[in-house]
């Protein structure tokens, strides 16, 4: 007896197989692998997170997909060393028995109703709660990057949404509800460093590097002409000093994007600004060399004597 198509392409529960009329002894053949209690998969199945999470969620009443598994399903910003992680994390409330499944990393946690949701039929921690759950595992800078992505204001034309996934105040409120959670100290520290306006992880890391280097905190998404909705913008910069810093990632290598970037930078330069463009090569050394360049540009920029003295003290 061949397995029905829906069971032949992804993990499934024994409840699903019985509903399709598959006898239990059919699941003991070589083309089916037993994963854990009530869970099976085709023997030749290649791991696919959404399918695995869907089956696990169905087989675990009262539990939800969490931690790095939830972050990947939500397409949240993760550091490279976690972006392809195949771990399966599931959380349960403390009132239910501990999760004990082969190959599954279980967590027993306190979570409020608004911290868990259903997404396409899968019970999963919300993006803000996932950020909090990962506070224990991520470094401070990685957690700030992930948090900045949550609070950034999206562009409706590109992303189909106009509201941020979270606000800093909302995240602070959630953090206050879980004072004993592992990683809570790092989460509080990350909240103090998060800002609205970083459009990517490298932009956040650049801002953090500038602050660590003793530079004044830059403005983010700085429009050349604030009164004009279609004005070119700088990723970071100092308006009073007419200095713009752009981080151009991989997509900026596309021909159409290169042309757009040149027009953007030319507009700033024509208005008397200095423009510094940084790339992944600068990111690779933690923006160390870039900090020296930025300090050099700012020291030689035209400033009033009082401003120059104040800025020299700052760097």
The Cα 191–Cα 189 span in angstroms is 5
In a domain? residue 45: yes
What span, in angstroms and rounded, lies between the C-alpha atoms of 174 and 181?
A: 11
Query: Does 30 fall in a domain?
Result: yes
Could you tell me the strand order of the sheet in which 12-13 lies?
12-13, 39-42, 32-36
Work out the average pLDDT over 154-176. 91
CATH number of the domain to which 208 belongs: 3.40.960.10
**Domain membership flag for residue 211:** yes
Q: Which band of pLDDT confidence, cut at 50, 70 and 90, is reported for residue 103?
A: confident
Residue 101: give the domain boundaries: 5-71+79-122
Question: Are 213 and 295 a contacting pair, CB within 8 Å?
Answer: yes
* 110 and 208 housed in the same domain: no
> Is 71's pLDDT higher than 80?
yes
How is residue 192 annotated by DSSP?
H
What order do you get walking across the sheet with 219-223 strand by strand? Answer: 219-223, 233-238, 243-247, 274-278
Does residue 273 form part of some domain?
A: yes
Question: Would residue 293 count as lying in a domain?
Answer: yes
pTM of whole model > 0.85? Answer: no
In a domain, 191, yes or no: no
Distance between CA atoms of residues 108 and 94, nearest Å: 5
180 or 95, greater pLDDT: 180
Q: Classify residue 55: in a domain, yes or no.
A: yes
**What is the rounded average pLDDT for all residues in the chain?**
89
User: Domain check: are 203 and 307 in the same one?
Assistant: yes
Provide the domain count of the chain.
2
SS3 content of the chain, % helix, strand, coil (to 5): 45, 15, 40
- Rounded CA gap, 312 and 315, in Å? 5
d(CA 68, CA 90): 10
Mean pLDDT, to the nearest integer, of 172-179? 97
Percent of the chain with pLDDT over 90: 61
């Amino acid at each position: 007896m061949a397995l029905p198509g829906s069971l032949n392409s992804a993990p499934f529960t024994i409840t699903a197989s019985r509903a399709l009329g598959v006898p239990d002894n059919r699941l003991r053949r070589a083309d089916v692998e037993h994963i854990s209690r009530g869970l099976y998969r085709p023997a030749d199945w290649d791991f696919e997170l959404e399918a695995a999470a869907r089956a696990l969620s169905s087989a675990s009443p009262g539990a939800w997909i969490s931690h790095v598994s939830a972050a990947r399903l939500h397409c949240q910003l993760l550091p490279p060393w976690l972006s392809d992680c195949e771990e399966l994390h599931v959380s349960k409330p403390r009132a239910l028995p501990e999760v004990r499944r082969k190959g599954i990393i279980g967590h027993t946690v306190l979570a409020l109703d608004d911290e868990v949701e259903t997404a396409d039929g899968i019970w999963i921690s919300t993006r803000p709660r996932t950020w909090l759950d990962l506070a224990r595992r991520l470094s401070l800078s990685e957690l700030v990057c992930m948090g900045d992505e949550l609070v950034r204001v999206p562009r409706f034309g590109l992303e189909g949404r106009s509201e941020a996934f979270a606000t800093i105040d909302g995240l602070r409120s959630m953090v206050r509800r879980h004072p004993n959670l592992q990683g809570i100290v790092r989460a509080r520290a990350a909240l103090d460093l998060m800002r609205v306006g970083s459009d990517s992880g490298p932009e956040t890391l650049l801002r953090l590097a500038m602050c660590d280097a003793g530079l004044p905190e830059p403005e983010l998404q700085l429009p050349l002409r604030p009164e004009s909705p279609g004005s070119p913008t700088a990723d970071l910069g100092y308006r009073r000093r007419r200095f713009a810093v752009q981080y151009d990632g991989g997509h900026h290598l596309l021909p159409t994007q290169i042309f757009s970037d040149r027009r953007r930078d030319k507009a700033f330069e024509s208005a008397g600004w200095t423009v510094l463009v940084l790339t992944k090569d600068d990111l690779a050394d933690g923006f160390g060399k870039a900090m020296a360049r930025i300090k050099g540009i700012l020291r030689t920029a035209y400033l009033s004597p009082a401003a120059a003295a104040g800025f020299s003290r700052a760097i």
